Structure 1
Amino acid sequence: MTDSAPPSKRMKFGFFDENIQVVVGPLRKRFNLHADILTTRSPYFKAAIAKRASTPDPPKDEQGSSQTTALQSTAKLGGDIELLDVEPEIFETYSQYLYQDTLDFDAPDDLTLDELVSVHILAAKLGDLRATNMAIDQMIKTSDKQHVVPGGSLVAIAFAGTSSESSSLRRLLVDFYMYEADKQVFTESSQLMPPAFCKAFMLRYIELKSGEGDAGFKQKISTLPACSYHQHDSSCPPCQ
């Protein structure tokens, strides 16, 4: 499988482009990012930034002075966007993707399967389908290169971080175990698998067994069509 996500337009930033402060994690680490790149990639950030812009002016006192504290004034001008339940390291990786348009980094900066799952979960919550597709492609590439499948604890994290049965990440993890996990890996991971995974696995087994027989199990994920686990909409058109 190759990364066939359509090329993105080169983003140009002017001297007066607005910067946005994104506060991440319980320790409130700050990231200073261009508003244009956030709104272009993420419907979540687009809505949050639009909400900041529509914040009404604070009331005036009898002398016409603003009745507001410095903190409220910051909120009035836009303020920070908070993602306090996100790990700063994962948001930093997402920020690198925003500016470099890739999740495929050279060693020793290449991402682990754990990191890629976390990036996918974050990108899905932000509505950034291009990032979710890139994370999927990189997970497949990493798994194929290292000859490993995600362990049971990582599967549990992925299923806890997604809610839809049609999640592309869930489908990929099910197929990893359907096509490529051996008996030992499955046995070692089975105690950690959430019930939702077990249900999805059995439904996938029935689907393959009834549709293609035993031949349906003789697949390698890296050889499947590029769009097999992708999601698309108007902002992220189908792969060519």
Structure 2
Amino acid sequence: MADDTPPAKRAKLTFSEHIRVLVGPTKQEFMVHKDVITSRSHFCKAATSERWSASGSQALKLPADDPDVFSGYLRCLYKDFVDIEDISKNQEQVINIYVLADKLGDATSKNIITDKYAEWSDSAYKIPDVELVNHAFNNTANNSQLRRMFVDFYVHEGSATILKDAVKCASLEFRTALLTAFVDLRDDQEWEDEPVSEAFGQRVSERDTCFYQEHDELCLPCASD
């Protein structure tokens, strides 16, 4: 039976309150609309729910984070957008924004970044280099969809030469994830009676909507899901 329950609605943004965010060891100050960031970030929502003061005298502190990365995160937060030029010029910076979004519990921003990275890779005919993948693996959790996407780049779009070089330079976690992905493909019953080559070549950009996305109560699934 179909579920007739209407989809959850997002809270209306009022833009009436701000949060002071102090970032990095120098405590660089950012003023962010409370409704905007708490509608996306579980961390900020939890941090302000109990102790928020109407006077705005309190501040969120991110002493271990880079102000430049936080600036990039705010652009993603407010515009729901990551510029392909940013990826072309500094992939590590974009991945660092993903890592910060992950730390803040902002699934929407993470999804925007994975989608845009897949689009950039397809248009530029490039996959992330091993150093970037190692960096991502070193700063994300085991269930990260970014890890999943990067592994798929190598499994389905990497040449033999790229794979050989990756095995030599990959971190232990990345190498293990690669080998696991190949074994899983081999054991997948869907490909049991098909040529081996048919199991590969599933380009990241051709995956279904939301394939590399995460969803929760602050980030609802796509309409097609």
CA spacing shift, 1:109–1:195, aligned 2, 3 Å: closer
Secondary structure of the equivalent of 2:92? helix
Secondary structure of the equivalent of 2:147? helix
- For 2:112, give the aligned amino acid: M
Q: What is the rounded CA distance, in whole Å, between the counterparts of 2:134 and 2:19 in structure 1?
A: 33
Per-residue displacement from partner, 1:52-89 (whole Å, max 9, x unpaired)? 328xxxxxxxxxxxxxxxxxxx9xx6522111222211
| Number of positions where the alignment pairs a residue of Structure 1 with one of Structure 2 | 208
1:121-160 equivalent positions in 2, closer than 5 A: 121-160=99-138
Q: Specify the alignment match of 1:58 in structure 2.
A: none
Q: What is the rounded CA distance, in whole Å, between the counterparts of 1:231 and 1:109 in structure 2?
A: 21
Secondary structure of the equivalent of 1:208? helix
**Residue of structure 1 aligned with 2:212, choices 219, 223, 229:** 229
Q: Specify the alignment match of 2:78 in structure 1.
A: 99
Q: What is the rounded CA distance, in whole Å, between the counterparts of 1:137 and 1:87 in structure 2?
A: 23
Q: What is the rounded CA distance, in whole Å, between the counterparts of 1:28 and 1:181 in structure 2?
A: 42
Q: Specify the alignment match of 1:37 in structure 2.
A: 36
Q: What is the rounded CA distance, in whole Å, between the counterparts of 1:220 and 1:27 in structure 2?
A: 43
User: Does the 8 Å CA contact 1:22/1:30 hold for their aligned counterparts?
Assistant: yes
- For 1:137, give the aligned amino acid: D
Runs (5+) with no aligned partner, structure 2: 1-8
Q: What is the rounded CA distance, in whole Å, between the counterparts of 1:10 and 1:47 in structure 2?
A: 16
CA spacing shift, 1:11–1:111, aligned 2, 3 Å: farther
CA spacing shift, 1:151–1:98, aligned 2, 3 Å: same
- For 1:92, give the aligned amino acid: S
Q: Specify the alignment match of 1:25 in structure 2.
A: 24
CA spacing shift, 1:167–1:136, aligned 2, 3 Å: same
Q: What is the rounded CA distance, in whole Å, between the counterparts of 1:214 and 1:224 in structure 2?
A: 18
Per-residue displacement from partner, 1:141-172 (whole Å, max 9, x unpaired)? 111111111111111111111122x2101111
**Identity between Structure 1 and Structure 2 (%):** 30
Q: TM-score, normalised by structure 1?
A: 0.78
Q: Specify the alignment match of 2:3 in structure 1.
A: none
Q: Specify the alignment match of 1:181 in structure 2.
A: 158
- For 1:53, give the aligned amino acid: W
Q: Aligned pair 1:87/2:66, yes or no? A: yes
User: Does the 8 Å CA contact 1:150/1:173 hold for their aligned counterparts?
Assistant: yes
User: Does the 8 Å CA contact 1:22/1:32 hold for their aligned counterparts?
Assistant: yes
Q: What is the rounded CA distance, in whole Å, between the counterparts of 1:121 and 1:108 in structure 2?
A: 16
User: Does the 8 Å CA contact 1:155/1:173 hold for their aligned counterparts?
Assistant: yes
CA spacing shift, 1:190–1:85, aligned 2, 3 Å: farther
Q: What is the rounded CA distance, in whole Å, between the counterparts of 1:195 and 1:35 in structure 2?
A: 40
Query: Cα RMSD (Å) of the superposition?
Result: 2.5
CA spacing shift, 1:78–1:111, aligned 2, 3 Å: farther
Q: TM-score, normalised by structure 2?
A: 0.82
Q: What is the rounded CA distance, in whole Å, between the counterparts of 2:209 and 2:25 in structure 1?
A: 37
Per-residue displacement from partner, 1:192-215 (whole Å, max 9, x unpaired)? 311111111111101112222431
Q: What is the rounded CA distance, in whole Å, between the counterparts of 2:167 and 2:65 in structure 1?
A: 28
Q: What is the rounded CA distance, in whole Å, between the counterparts of 2:78 and 2:92 in structure 1?
A: 22
- For 1:90, give the aligned amino acid: V
Secondary structure of the equivalent of 1:228? coil
